A and B are shown apart, each in its own frame.
Chain A
Amino acid sequence: MGTAQQSLVIGLDIGSTTVKAVVIDRSSYEILWSDYQRHHTKQPEKVLELLRAIGEKHDVIGCPIFVTGSGAGPLGEPLGAKFVQEVNAVSLAVERLHPDVRSIIELGGQDAKIIVYKEDQHGNKTANPSMNDKCASGTGATIDKCMVKVGAEPGFATSLHFSTHALHHVAAKCGVFAETDIVNLVKTGVPKDEVLNSLADAIVLQNLSVLTRGSTLKAKVILLGGPNKYLPFLQECWRLRIPETWRDRGYEPPAGIPLEELIFVPDNADLYAAFGAACYGISLGADDARYMGVDRLVDFMANGRRARLGDKAGPPLAANEAERLAFVDSYKIPKFAPPKLGPGDVVRGVIGLDGGSTSSKAVFVREDGEIIAKAYQLSKGNPIVDAQDLLTSIRDQVTAQGATIECIGMGATGYAADVLEEVALADVNIVETVAHMMSAVHFFGDVDVICDIGGQDIKVLFMKNGDIANFKLSNSCSAGNGMLLQAMADQFGIDVRDYAETAFGAALSPVFSYGCAVFLDTDRVNFQKEGFQKEELLAGLAHVLPKNVWQYVVQIPRLASLGRKFVLQGGTQYNLAAVKAQVDYIKERVPDAEVFVHPHTGEAGALGAAFETLRRFQRSNTTRFIGIEGVLALDYETRNDESTTCHFCPNECSRTFIDTKRPDGSVSRYISGFSCEKGTVESNEAMLEIVKLRKQTAAEFPNMLNYEARLAFQHFYEPEPLPASGTMIDDIEVREGLLRIDRRKIRRPFERSHRDLSRVRVGMPRILGMYSEAPFFRTYFEALGMPKQNVVFSDVTDEPMWLEGSRYGSVDPCFPAKAAQAHIHNLLFHKHDPAKGRALNFIYYPLLNYVPNFVTDTMDNVACPIVSGTPAVMKAAFTKEVDFFAQRSIEYIDAAASLEEPNYLMRNMYDTWGHRLGITRDESDFAVRQGLIALKAFNDEVQAKGRAILETVEAENGIAILVLARPYHSDPGMNHGIPEEFQVLGYPILSIRSIPKTREYLDRYFKDELETKKIGSPLEINHIWPENYQTNSTARVWAANFAAHHPNVAVLDLSSFKCGNDAPTYGLIDKILSTSRTPSAALHDIDANKPGGSIKIRVKTYAHSLRLHEERLDDVARRKLELELSIDRKRLELLEGKQRQLAAMHRRDERIDTALDAVRARIRSYEVAFKPEAPIADPSPKLVQIRRRSASDLVTA
């Protein structure tokens, strides 16, 4: 063996985007050779290139070789290398080079790692790693993609410096969400330095709040990986945010060392894993890992890879060429051939414009419905520019033939619709779903299912009687869509138009797991690594599309139940590979299905808007549209700076103002980028006006969720005073024997401690189960003599609170549970203020494991394990490194309290508070009883309000929206204000708690089932769902069943991302509501970030369905009235006939006379109420008002 073989070691790091290689000296650990290169998904080729380069400089044949990285797996064997886990490699490198480092942050291409060193009493360090391999938060790939979206020129990012001057909201939890936010920021004109700084801040905060698992990143902190090395603004952001956590947690970094050294980026930051792999090899002294040249690697690339693929692969897109040709023949979308126009022709028609998130489309449709011109372009971010470009194109297409346009209206849909309605006075502004529906129905008539796959989202509409009966939309999570196919094609340098042809060429395809786009990309990397070729990957991805649509988004496994006539539309349908996969998927499940592709698939939305505009014009014969030339002449200015930031709430939304001047001199301002109505105004006065209007609407259309959320934490029940010492009370004496327990009634004096609790303060988090049970705990303490202001709840969840207090969590459950850390933080850092005499003595977060239920036939009444376990998790989070409670002399109490067992509860509460407050058992028991009375009063009060709403909507044929959610979704920070969106549209909002639970009220709706003995009580649900041991899930299912039985109740189903207790009820609730045909909309997967666009489109579409439902209700009510009248008229006729008959026989029956009088009186009263000529009620929302309740408990005017 030569000297080189004894002294050199090769380390390779084959990552998801790059390959790094080092050759080191085994005695000095000096790096003798290194390189770092992007592999563009050609890992083996790049490795080969690097090894050849090494070979030119060093004689490494026979040297030990070690590989690490996510792409290293299959290459180890052909290289003769041993695999080293990458975190091990990185930590070994750091331990060798920087023994004083306590924390490592490595951002890789597709994952991020944080390693925190813990030291035991002997000074031994243990590395505690944490990796984000489950959900792709901020990583190099995300940054790369965003860099492209921002349009950063080379060198821009590497010279950018971090500034907190203007940071915008970016959701870094998921790479796809981040991308969406970035696109929106770019579109609203936010400068790229602000966008990148916002992204960096979001990534850093996300890593600090999730990936550290609540551990403090103690100094020294080393920053590794490509992004950390090359992006100074990212480094600076770490240097700003990490010391903030040090200050919060009272950690003192080593003194006298500048911050740049405490948090530092070493030279060769990108080579650490490769270096560490080599170090590992040296420590191992392994003889079985020897580099024997590149021959085996070359062989592997040529033969080995492919040989292993067959077993795991899925089928090709088409079994043979004949099948492919037949398919292409029947599904190829015919090229659009506009009608020939003659010089001098005047074409009268309307414009339809669809401003989508990635592309914008416009059509010009002649009065007779014929499409004259189409235009398409990628959205440039400014809707006015997009509209001007499209209209220019349309105009030019017509004028090029010598014809002229007479524009009689314009309709818009998509994100640009609001702007165009405002500045161009578009006649129609419809939501995308409705536009797509109109377009499909126009071409295909009686359609059952419309599936629209756009650039960023998937919309599936289920039709009934020519209208949308239900719909499902993607984009709450980033399931596959058009962009995904485009991105994949881009990665292989294939024009998306050639996608299908390439994919059809594959003889097999890898089986991707469907769902999140980020995971799909991880799969892609793995498949590539295994040797799949690009055409196979493209085919595999096309196969994913239908799964994402039908299994991930739609979630209706039995496609046949939806009908048999399917229309596919949206830009993605140009890709015949995607269409083939879709058609095959549908036909496999619905053999007699007819699957059509919209002939103008990309412009379906624009066409829908145009058809609706035509309909409007034909009815009203007027337009307010400023005309094509008017739009082209629009003068506008876009502003997004400090002056446009909204300061009306702590969210400080960064808004964009688009000031437009029309040719006629009129001006308008369009404001975007806000997250609530307050953002739509500029002055305080205008804001106050908005708030006033909002309050007025709220009074007219009550929102029981808001009311309940407020009432739960207020002092609203005045507890009775504690009995005087010695007051005789009834009690039960318990005598426990070894085998038997005897109880006997006794009378004895009440025992008082006479403790003064007026200075004791208890803090409780306003979170999770407390939204149900807070009245009990507040009253318990108040009944013991604690002043009401001393029972302190944390603030309502909002974004600033979350951002401030979210860095303590060690787990990543649903957002409602994660937010608990922000609430405990709020209590510790804001509510506890000894300087102002407002110190907290206790923070009490009871472990609520059993909660009462109104459903009568349950198996058990348990709380969600996360809800009951979060107090323990919080205790761990806030005491693991630093005991934040002890630091402030606060005692944290997470004792169990079972609220469904009053006697056991008394024991729990006394065990918890007896010794702490120095109270007697009698006092504690008394306070528990008072607390339970308060809880009942809370429920009664909410139900009384709910009953008034229900009776009013029933009397007025209106609709109330019942929100199916867990109690804590009343928290505005949890529900993202979605119920309010409907409230503003004029629908009163009911919570589950607010439904009256008395038999007296409920029996009427369950009459048939009660009479036929199918159920014994309306409060039973075993016939629907026997696995009903979980209180809030049971309540959701029961409430859905109630909605099914009440004609005036529609449903809004809200559920949090990762809610394991709601998930099993999704299908059940869907079944209940679809069987009774109750209108419903669902927003599952609610998380920390508010997907504004997604919420908006759902609200608008659902509002459309609700208006139709209201019309139907009105219609049915009117027809029923007509029926009654008609029957009474007939009755009158028959009775009169009978009377005449009797008169002829000289007989008279007084009862007939009485009956006739009654019928005539009734007919007169009907005629007053019923006017057959009256038009169908205006679909605009009606005012539903809560009337006063009379003593008889009936609603009166």
Chain B
Amino acid sequence: MNSPVKHLPILNQPEFDDIMAELDAFEAAERSRLGLDEEPVQFWRDEMVDLTIKQTEVADTTLLIGGLPKLADILIQSALKPLGYSVMYLPEPDHESLRYGKEFGNRAQCNPTYYTVGNLVKFLCQLRDKGMTSEEIVRKFAFVSAGSCGPCRFGMYVTEYRKALRDAGFDGFRIMLFQEKGGISQDGDQPSEAGISFGPKFFMQLAKAVYAADIINGIGYRLRPYEVEEGAINRVLEETKRLCCEYLEAQRPILLALLKARSMFAKVELDRTQIKPKVGIAGEFWAQMTEGEGNYRVKQFLESEGAEVRIQFVSEWLLYNVWEEGRDLELRVGLRENDIGTARADHHVGTYSIAKRRVGLKVFDIGMRATFQMFAKAAGFNDYKTQDVDEGRLTAEEYYPSELRGGEGHMEVAHAIDNAVKKKANLTLSVKPFGCLPSSGVSDGVQSKVQEKFPGAIIAMVETSGDGATNFYSRVQLYLFKARELAEAEVAKALSETGLTMEEVRAYLKANPKLNDPLHLPPHRAACTAADVVYQVHDHMTSTPLSRARARTTKLAEDTKGAFSVVRKAAPTMWQGAKLLAEDLRLEALDQIERRTGFRRAESQARV
């Protein structure tokens, strides 16, 4: 509240200046006597919000990055260097990071927050322990990360970063954010003197690194379980990582690096007749992506327990984000009035804004998928279909409304159903942090019904809290035991249906090395890869080169026919569309004429 003492108005007149001066002095003395001269009440404002790196500071600042799978972080470091930034990726979060996160973060956070926030604080504290002053650290380093609009705690990570950094003594540490859904040009949101450009170049480099990391990780998890010589795949992976970094830093096409990797992968000897249950990893984004202690290294653990792991990709999560935007748009198209001022409706306002946005999102979506496939083809990650988020929506619709957002949204449930119905995995391991709002609070509740409706499927929901690894592993082993039984049953069924023995299959593979090519994936029939191999061998045995050629031709013809039928079915709509398009163009032309000639049509006068 402001001072309650009011001066009399007449004191403003010059002849009373002496009175006024004396009164002021008296008031000051009285305030002091009465103990009323305390400092006025202070109000908190966060001075760490919106700190940026100025152009003049770029040369002396190291950008820290982290939070994605390790390989992605490493490749991003290389990818951003050619843009003139000094970049350093943070080491993989470990238990110490969790400890730092808990000490300096808020209580009751989820463990992705603790691990990632704690990881940054730990790194900075270690620098300080080595003798750098806090001021130096604040001046020389900044952190770059993605921001989000929720709805879960993910969007509030930055709040947590600021709190932890401040409490750990790094007041004023700069955190640079780009928005996960902000598009590829976010410079407009930045002050003019900003030294880091979140423009197309930045995001293109980021994308290259993320896609390459996804593909390399994908191949690694696909091949490693079946390697004959232990460690062979990891050696190639190391070499691939080195190559990719080199190409990215030299700004050479990364596809060339992937092509080189392809030939290395092709040389590794595999035995895909080993019966390994396939485990589809799903769940909360960070908990399932990370390969460190944040999920007790569950993927490595699964492999060590004899499973094949089917991972998900960072780029697929981006597809979900793009889909969210498109879906929100479609749900609101054609409202009588736009709900201006809300986060989802602002882009509906103009006459053409919806069309523009639709096209933009579609191009983005296609671009992302094409990039993935291009990288995948180059590296030999064959026959992988990126997830169709809208198809997932239909799959999960009965259980999980797609309007529910956060985490993986409906995709977690869709994965569980798909893995069961389409036999994509013997076990769906849905990994989530303890207390994860969308995943353990909602998805798990819904998945209990999915389990009930698909009683033969093994859908395991496991939470990670940072401690209690023993219990976690024990639970995973429990489900894996059941999954192994399923995998064995699949192989037994395949052998009995084909009348083959495993020895015969192995002998045939030896005689037909093409079928045993590491980069060649047997056609999908069962969840377990060994069962697919059996079927493939049998198909190959019972066919001739001619019949196989005929089969390929037939398939091609069917695909073409399918495509034609789609076109034929869509023709009336397309015709309708063409007419509407023509009508649109006509109206647009009239509008243009009006604007240029001042001529007014009756119908346009009533337009809103």
Q: List the interface of chain A (C-beta within 8 A of B).
A: 70, 73, 83, 85-88, 111, 118-120, 122, 124, 126-129, 131, 133-134, 213-215, 513-514, 519, 522-523, 526, 547, 551-552, 555, 557-558, 731-732, 734, 736-746, 809-811, 813-814, 817, 847, 849-850, 859-866, 868-870, 872-873, 876-877, 879-881, 894, 896, 900-904, 906-907, 1005, 1007-1009, 1014, 1022-1027, 1029-1030, 1033, 1041, 1044-1045, 1047, 1057-1068, 1071-1072, 1075-1077, 1084-1085, 1116, 1119-1120, 1122-1124, 1126-1127, 1130-1131, 1134-1135, 1138, 1151-1152, 1154-1155, 1158-1159
Contacts and interface: CB of A to CB of B under 8 A. Distances in A.
Contacts of A1065: 106, 159
A290 B451 CA distance: 38
A1047 B1 CA distance: 8
Interface string B348-359: 000110110000
Interface string B10-36: 100100100100110011001100111
B343 A859 contact: yes
B36 A1123 contact: yes
Contacts of B466: 513
A731 B337 CA distance: 10
Given A736-B334, A1134-B19, 4 more contacts: A746-B606, A1009-B43, A1030-B150, A1075-B43
| Chain A facing B: main interface SS | mixed
A1119 B35 CA distance: 8
B530 interface: no
B394 to A, nearest CB: 16
Interface stretch (B70-78, B253-261, B433-441, B495-503): B433-441
B442 A872 contact: yes
Nearest to B6: A1124
Interface in B407-464: 407, 434-438, 440-442, 444-446, 448-449, 451-453, 455-458, 463
B608 A866 contact: no
Given A813-B441, A849-B404, A1131 B155 contact: no
Interface in B207-245: none
B336 interface: yes
B570 interface: no
Interface stretch (B79-87, B266-274, B381-389, B477-485): B477-485
Given A865-B152, A872-B399, A1023-B49, A129 B110 contact: no
B344 interface: yes
Contacts of B467: 513, 519, 523
A868 B409 CA distance: 12
A901 B587 contact: no
Contacts of B110: 1060
7 contacts: A126-B456, A741-B351, A876-B399, A1033-B156, A1060-B152, A1084-B107, A1123-B36
A1064 B160 contact: yes
A1026 B457 CA distance: 44
Interface stretch (B54-62, B295-303, B363-371, B577-585): B577-585
B149 A1131 contact: no
Contact of A134 (B108, B344, B451, B468): B468
A902 B342 CA distance: 10
B495 to A, nearest CB: 19
A956 B383 CA distance: 76
A1045 B407 CA distance: 36
B339 interface: yes
B442 A873 contact: yes
B149 A1064 contact: no
B163 A1029 contact: no
Nearest to B3: A1120
Contacts of B435: 813, 1058, 1060
Contacts of B339: 900-904
A214 B153 contact: no
A740 B351 contact: yes
A1060 B437 contact: yes
Interface of B: 1-2, 4-5, 8, 10, 13, 16, 19, 22-23, 26-27, 30-31, 34-36, 41-46, 49-50, 102-110, 113, 147, 149-153, 155-156, 158-160, 163-164, 167-169, 331-339, 342-345, 351-352, 354-355, 399-401, 403-407, 434-438, 440-442, 444-446, 448-449, 451-453, 455-458, 463, 465-468, 470-471, 474-475, 477-478, 481-482, 577, 580-581, 583-584, 587-588, 603, 606-608
Interface hub of A83, A1009, A1134 (most chain B Cβ within 10 A): A1134
A245 to B, nearest CB: 16
A1195 B426 CA distance: 70
Given A1026-B49, A1066-B107, A1131-B23, A1044 B44 contact: yes
Contact of B449 (A119, A879, A1064): A879
A880 B335 contact: no
A873 B445 contact: yes
B23 A810 contact: no
Contacts of B332: 901, 904
A737 B446 contact: no
A877 B583 contact: no
Given A70-B470, A743-B336, A1155-B8, A738 B107 contact: no
| Complex A-B, nearest 3 residue pairs according to Cβ-Cβ distance, in ascending order | A869-B442, A873-B445, A810-B448
A1009 B43 CA distance: 9
A809 B446 CA distance: 10
A146 to B, nearest CB: 23
Contact of A1066 (B13, B106, B580): B106
A1028 to B, nearest CB: 9
B445 A810 contact: yes
Contacts of A522: 468, 471
Interface hub of A731, A744, A811, A877 (most chain B Cβ within 10 A): A811
Interface hub of A87, A732, A902 (most chain B Cβ within 10 A): A87
Contacts of A739: 352, 355, 581, 584
Contact of A1068 (B50, B163, B603): B163
Given A813-B441, A1064-B109, A1076 B41 contact: yes
Contacts of A1119: 34-36
Given A124-B456, A744-B608, A557 B168 contact: yes
A1025 B159 CA distance: 7
Contacts of B354: 741
Interface hub of B10, B404, B444 (most chain A Cβ within 10 A): B404
A1159 B19 CA distance: 14
A1155 B7 CA distance: 11
Contact of A849 (B399, B403, B583): B403
Contacts of A873: 441-442, 445-446
Interface hub of B10, B352, B354 (most chain A Cβ within 10 A): B10
A742 B151 contact: no
B452 A118 contact: yes
Contact of B445 (A513, A736, A876, A1068): A876
Contact of A1025 (B43, B46, B108, B334): B46
Nearest to B19: A1134
Contact of B44 (A744, A865, A1072): A1072
Contact of A1075 (B8, B44, B333, B452): B44
Contacts of B164: 557
Contacts of B451: 118, 128
B452 A880 contact: yes
Contact of A847 (B10, B401, B468): B401
B88 to A, nearest CB: 25
Contact of B45 (A736, A1023, A1030): A1023
Contacts of B577: 738
Contacts of B607: 742-744
A636 B99 CA distance: 53
A120 B446 contact: no
Given A126-B458, A736-B333, A1067-B163, A1127 B34 contact: no
B404 A872 contact: yes
Nearest to A110: B471
B160 to A, nearest CB: 6
